[in-house]
Amino acid sequence: MFVWSKEYSVGVEEMDEQHQHFLEIANEVLVLAAKAEVSKMELLEALGKFLNYALYHLETEEEYFKTFDCPQLGHLEAHNMFRERFKDLFIKVEQGSAEGLREQAEAAAEFAGRWILQHILVMDKGYTYCFHEHGLH
């Protein structure tokens, strides 16, 4: 299970809230995937919700980069790599047979949760200065 803590704060309330929600939905998928009797439809619904939220979150950041004209070396590329990988993992579950689906859904949620935590520390903290300069705290 993923836990957000202060060290992951980027100093921008809206982004911190989105990062926390991102992890909450990752945890929802993990909880569901741990249930023996879960159906493929339930897993897909939870994972789909997570994927959609993740895409929405990345777009929110990218909109601010554009609006504030923040220099973001490699940030869009990092987002795009994540988008591709997470979509692939979703499709695996979508196309998979009943066997191993829970493990695949778990792997997808683990991947995305670990990615965002690492990404916050390595990249997202880099936009704090620019966002603050434009009055977003």
Which residues contact Fe ion (rule: CB under 5 A)? 61, 124
Nearest CB to Fe ion, comparing residues 39 and 60: 60
Instruction: Find all residues with CB under 8 Å of 69, minimum gap 6, and list them.
Output: none
Torsion of CA 125, 70, 20, 82, to 10 degrees: -90
Report the residue number, 7 or 37, with the smaller CB distance to Fe ion: 7
Beta carbon nearer to Fe ion, 27 or 128: 128
Min dist. Cβ of residue 49 to Fe ion (A): 20
Min CB(135)–Fe ion separation in Å: 20
Helix (H) or strand (E) segment spanning residue 2: none
DSSP 125: G
123: three-class secondary structure by DSSP: coil
